[in-house]
Amino acid sequence: MTQRVKKIFFGGEGVKMKAIVMGLVGAVLLATFVSAPLRAQTEVSCAQEYTVAAGDWLSTIAEKYLGSASAYPAIMTQTNLKSQSDFSFATVVNPDSIEVGWKLCIPDQATADALNGVNPPPGLDKNALYNATYSSELMPGGKATLKDGTYTAPADPSGAPGAQMTLTKQIAYGDLNGTPSAAVVTGSTGGGSGFFYIISVMQAQDGKPVEVATTGTGDRSPVLALVIENNQVLVDYLTQGPDQPMCCGTLRVVDTYALEGNKLNQTAHKELGYLGPNGETPGQTLAVTGQVVYREKIAMPEGAVVKVQVADVSRADAPADVIGEQTIENPGNVPVKFSVPYDGAKIQPNFTYAVSARIEVNGQLMWISTTRIPVITNGAPTSDVTVPVERVGSTANTASSDETAKKLTSTTWEWQGSTYKDGTKSTPTNPSQYTAQFEDEGRVSVKADCNSGGGPYQIDGNKLTIGNMVTTLMLCPEGSLGTEFMRDLQNSATFAFDGDNLVITMKDDGGTMTLAPSKQASAALTGVTWQWQGTAQASGDIAVKDPTRYTITFNQDGTANIKNDCNNILANYTLDGSNMKLELGPSTLVACPPDSQDALFSKQLSTVTAYSIDGGMLLLDLADGGVMKFSQGK
């Protein structure tokens, strides 16, 4: 049977997902960096240039070209070394996640054997390295002796997990100052969210590996390639750019070090740039491309302008953040081609992005996209995207009156602003101060800054009529837009949904209002560490051996912290009433014990559709009809 690399789940059922998996790995940040050109690197050659096809794994490619599935690390290292100078080659962050169309660099057999340490120096074989002693400030006493590649300190009296260290598969061999050496990477955690990578140089003394020098790459900064050549250690890794969170760095950096005594001194530092959201090597052009279409068999009106936007729609409690847009004047007839460029540095792999379009004629909205069209991350495309738009004022953009009413009444809507036909705008600084809640009984309740009230409303297809509303008459602070908000609502004529947003067109083509759903998590859900007790499903209930190893904590900001046995996962969640969507993001990459239920836990969390709290228990409904059960941790 073909050997496969261990599957690691990062929010999807398999590992061949588009999201870049950062992994919560890194080391203590170096205090200072002195930028310098990289020293001349040995020419990276490929015995075979291979383009990834559907169904490929690095292990199967390695078996085909190098004779062994376990030789896959050499392909990852050689490809990453090659892509430092040739942007057409992929940047492989996670060996278990490769994408169709990526170009890989297959080394020749001798190079592969050298990269994989097939003939290691005496005293530095992998078995010895996996049972050696390594430094880390997070370990008791500053050091840890591994057993079969891992070390776990006892839990402290409070029950908090102890420090852990793991030796990764990143091992490089070569001579440093004339002495056979090995460079290895360990990952350490003190029990918190950080996971620190430390690079250690090992040399044989009395037939055993001894650590002679160390350095680090930075908190949660995974190593992509590690080699010893030209009497130096080369480290290719990812780290965080100035505006990126610690979990999700995509800035690719290459450093070189010289061994001087018992220190690794940096001799060069080069920033290659930011990876694209699907692992695109820095330097590759990034854009969402496709076409805008409408169903009417009519020519595009004279004076039409097509506007296409790509936006971050991850946060349920905040307006969409536009990361790229294109305005097309004189577009001709549909389909209208578009290409919206975006900055890969702004892309977070665990976030959600969508493309939308609208067609205006002489400043008036005529067509608008009414469904969310995901792009870029989580398996969504970046090319050949079709964006259908529906005509405002027709009934074409409503699937049915029941579905329309349900969506309108499903949430509290926060006013993002109004744009009027003369080009002026009203934009509130705090949208949560201006809200509308359309109730099933035909009443709309409003909050207009310091005042509140409501009145009747009716919908007929996409027509919206709001009757006279009565509100309190408090004097709001200077700068309040309460009067404008109420006036615009009273002038409602039609409505449509632009993705998750509600767009109201005012009477007499007076302009448009945009409102976004407000989806705040309940206090009962957040701030609690929920421990997985098991899952009830039709095929048979699943029991959890140790609930403390599988937990989830929902935060008020829409993020969730997941403990998945020996790994940590950062997730985002959105709520729509009792409906819930969990998007699992980056994870640490520690190999859990054989009895681990980590794969099942992450797989089921990625299919959550709804939640409820019953008798202090959290129940998560799954897409297949199962129910995950959680109790509150002590």
**pLDDT of 196-218, one tens digit each?**
999 999 999 999 999 999 999 88
| Structural contact between residues 138 and 28, judged by C-beta atoms closer than 8 angstroms | no
Q: Tell me the DSSP string of 528-541.
A: -EEEEEEEE-TT--
Residue 7 has pLDDT above 80, yes or no: no
pLDDT value at 29 more than 70: no
d(CA 627, CA 351): 25
Give the CA distances from residue 372 to residues 11, 42, 313, 320, 527, in Å, rounded to whole numbers and listed in that order: 20, 48, 9, 12, 30
Q: Kindly report which listed range (174-183, 312-321, 574-583) carries the lowest average pLDDT score.
A: 312-321
As a whole number, the mean pLDDT across the chain is 83
Q: Which of 288, 291, 385, 386 is nearest to 332 (CA)?
A: 291
Question: Are 153 and 171 in contact, with CB atoms under 8 Å apart?
Answer: no
The token duo for 397 is 């953009």
User: What pLDDT digit, counting tens, does each position of 431-460 carry?
Assistant: 888 988 887 777 888 889 888 888 888 887
With a CB cutoff of 8 Å and minimum separation 6, the contacts of 65 are 47, 48, 50, 75, 106
Residue 520: predicted pLDDT:
57
Using CA atoms, how far apart are residues 100 and 53, in angstroms rounded to an integer? 5
Q: Could you tell me which residues are beta bridge partners of residue 573?
A: 582
pTM: 0.48
Instruction: Output the pLDDT for position 10.
Output: 25
Whole-number percent of the chain with pLDDT over 90: 39
Which residues make Cβ contacts (< 8 Å) with residue 437, sequence separation at least 6?
Answer: 411, 412, 413, 444, 445, 446
H or E segment and range at residue 74: helix 72-83
**pLDDT band (50, 70, 90) for residue 397:** very low
pLDDT one-digit tens code per residue, 131-166? 999 999 999 899 999 999 999 988 777 666 778 999
* 277: confidence class by pLDDT, cuts 50, 70, 90: low
Collapse the DSSP code of 225 into the 3-class scheme (helix H, G, I; strand E, B; otherwise coil) and give the result: strand
pLDDT level of residue 99 (50, 70, 90 thresholds):
confident
- Please provide the CATH number assigned to the domain covering 400-517: 2.40.128.270
pLDDT at 403: 64
Are 400-517 and 525-632 in the same CATH fold? Answer: yes
Task: Spell out the CATH class of 525-632.
Answer: mainly beta
Question: Would you call 254 exposed, middle or buried from its count of C-beta atoms within 10 A (0-12, 13-18, 19+)?
Answer: buried
280 pLDDT band, cuts 50/70/90, is confident
* Nearest to 27, CA basis, from 227, 203, 273, 264: 264
Nearest Cα to 53, choosing from 19, 99, 90, 96? Answer: 99
- Residue located via tokens 């950080």: 194
What pLDDT does 474 receive?
82
Q: Which residue carries 């199962």 as its tokens? A: 626
Q: Residue type for 342, please?
A: Y
Whether pLDDT at 324 is above 80? yes
Quickly state the pLDDT bin for 402 (edges 50, 70, 90).
low
Give tens-digit pLDDT for 504-516: 998 887 889 999 8
Q: What is the pLDDT of residue 398?
A: 39
Q: How sure is the predictor about 130, in pLDDT bands with cuts at 50, 70 and 90?
A: very high
Q: Please say if the pLDDT value at position 274 is more than 80.
A: yes
Name the more confident of 456 and 401: 456
pLDDT for residue 279 is more than 80: no
pLDDT exceeds cutoff 90 at 98: no
Cα 330 → chain centroid: 37
| Rounded distance between C-alpha atoms, residue 626 and residue 634, angstroms | 26
Distance between CA atoms of 9 and 135, rounded to whole angstroms?
29
Pairing mode, strands 434-438 and 179-189: unpaired
Which region, left, alpha or beta, applies to residue 577 given φ > 0 means left and ψ of -120 to 50 means alpha?
A: left
Query: Tokens 């899952």 identify what position?
Result: 535
Q: Is the pLDDT of residue 261 over 90?
A: yes
pLDDT at position 42 is 67
DSSP-derived pairing of the beta strands 529-536 and 511-518: unpaired
530-585 pLDDT per residue, tens:
999 999 887 778 889 899 999 999 887 678 889 999 998 888 888 776 778 898 88
List the CATH code of the domain at 48-116: 3.10.350
**Fold of the CATH domain 287-391:** Immunoglobulin-like (2.60.40)
pLDDT of residue 225: 94
| β pairing state of 385-388 and 287-293 | parallel
**Most confident listed range (38-47, 109-118, 448-457, 621-630):** 109-118
Q: Does residue 50 have a pLDDT over 90?
A: yes
- pLDDT > 70: percent of the chain: 87
Please determine, for residue 47, whether its predicted confidence score (pLDDT) is greater than 70. yes
At 251-260, the pLDDT tens digits run 999 999 999 9
Q: What is the pLDDT of residue 427?
A: 93
Please choose, from the candidates 80, 106, 107, the residue with its C-alpha nearest in 3D space to the C-alpha of residue 92.
80
The reported pLDDT for the residue numbered 273 is 86
Across 380-392, average pLDDT: 85
Listed residue (22, 74, 28) closest to 274, CA to CA: 22
What are the structural domain ranges in the chain? 48-116, 126-274, 287-391, 400-517, 525-632
* Top-confidence residue, 276 or 226: 226
